[in-house]
Amino acid sequence: MVHVGSNSTHNTSPHLEFMLLNLAAHQVVLVLGLLGVSTLLHLFGTRRQRVPYPPGPKGLPLIGNLLDIPTSKGWLAYMKMGKELSSDILHFSAFGNHIIVLNSLEDSVELLEKRASIYSDRPYAPVLDLMGWTWFLPLLPYGDIWRHTRRIFHQRFRKDVAHHFQPLQLKKVKELLLSLYSSMDEPIPHFQAIGGAINMQIAYDIDIKPPNDHYYNLAEKAVAGGAEVFLPGAALMNEMPFLRYLPSWVPGIGFQKAAAVKTLTDQMRHDTYAHTRGEMAKGHYTSLLAQLLEENDAAGGSEEQEEVVKGAATSIYAAGTDTIACAVQTFFYQMALHPEIQRKAQTEIDLVIGTHRLPDFNDRPSLPYTDAIYHELLRLRPIFPMNLPHASIADDIYKGYFIPKGSMVFANFWTITRDENRFPDANKCLPERFLDQNGQLKDDMTSWIYGFGRRICPGRHLASSMLWLTFASVLATFNIHKSEGDTGNEEEVEAAYSATAISHPDFKCTLTPRSQEAIRLIHESN
């Protein structure tokens, strides 16, 4: 492939430059020609198909629904389309690639859990290769590497062993309270980093010091950049894989963003690995990566297995950096908008715990309203408004509709959480919806927010306990205030949230200690 750009360090004659551009143009023509042939063959083949696809917008010749696939906040567009077409299942196609959007919990459970043998793969996304994210567990295709990596997570983060991380979680939350107290007028950079702080300590035993921490900033930028180009429609390569063979200077395809992410990703993986090997040389084996590398070294030092364990550790580091941060940001934002919810939770905490100590994990069953806040915030603002795509490995028929092999299948969490039959007044923040008539927490109604079937988040137990402890500890010690001029109306709240795959709010808030006793607790706990 030939790359032409103004940053070249060599002088190029006009004639040679013309030849290079002409060659690039021929590449474009060749790829488009092959595309046209493959699309016509696909259309010819599907004419014999008699079972209809699910409802969807009528496409155009050759490009199909390319222009109908939203590139920003697709979860809102898909919810609107579902209502217009009176269907909870939507179908789109672009150049022979199929996208299925599931707007109901029932359909998502049926396909992604009950038919997991068909729908547990991940679609091939060329942009992942270009970003250097082929190691990331949530995006790995179904196969041996996925199984080996998943086994590592299951062994260390399943529910019956996740409690081993509770002392570390308590320590990090106490550190968070002190950092918040030191910067009550600008608290956001501090609570944004809590997820990365926990996961970095687990994966590499590195005690990061945000907001200006080398390791944290690398992960935050790499994850944020990846989130921008992975939703359907965000990077054209995801819908049209052949575009990866075009010259990198072609605009609008995602080359530039992907290249920038890869630079960050490579440095992130190199620096953390080098740090871990350095600690192992000193006899320190406290981090997860060090333990996994030691096991591999003892077994003969397989390079393939070393890449697997490096990918597992980096997945822990990357996954928690932005996802937990997103949920914590939503907590601060929504509490600032709803002081009455704050007061009710604080009353519960004071009655159950008192004001002479901080909450701990043993208190969770006794604080149902505080736990209901956790569930309601995951519902109200799901971390992933659309779940990561599954891919079908075989043709399937569901509700009389044909879902072809290789389809990208998305559960639209946004529409599911706005189901008025399940969640009346769905756009309102109402923790009470998760309590029964006796004020006790109902059965878990939000476990699906962590995914479905074999692709459910393996770190969900760690994330749940971490988020609950953070929420309870902050409510016990601080009052959260919204910024001036923030009315909290629905349009204003929606505008505050990002349009990327991981949706987080952009806002300002301030904190004040609840009392002198709260200040004492903050200082004495560290």
Task: Answer for the pair 308, 364: CB distance below 8 angstroms, yes or no.
Answer: no
- What is the rounded CA–CA span in Å between residue 194 and residue 199? 9
At 208, give phi and psi (nearest 5°). -75, 155
Judging by beta carbons within 10 Å of its beta carbon (0-12, 13-18, 19+), is residue 209 exposed, middle or buried? Answer: middle
For 366-499, where are the alpha helices, taking DSSP H only?
Answer: 368-380, 413-417, 460-477, 490-496
Residue 481: strand, helix, or coil: strand
R_g (Cα) of the chain, nearest Å: 25
Place of tokens 């004492």: 520
Q: Annotation-wise, does 457 bind a ligand?
A: yes
First vs last C-alpha separation in the chain = 57
Judging by beta carbons within 10 Å of its beta carbon (0-12, 13-18, 19+), is residue 362 exposed, middle or buried? Answer: exposed
Task: Answer for the pair 305, 296: CB distance below 8 angstroms, yes or no.
Answer: yes
Place of tokens 């196969």: 143
Q: Omega of the bond prior to 339 within 30 degrees of 0, cis?
A: no
- What is the rounded CA–CA span in Å between residue 288 and residue 498? 32
- What is the rounded CA–CA span in Å between residue 76 and residue 495? 12
Instruction: List, as residue ranges, the binding site for heme.
Output: 457
Instruction: List, as residue ranges, the binding site.
Output: 457
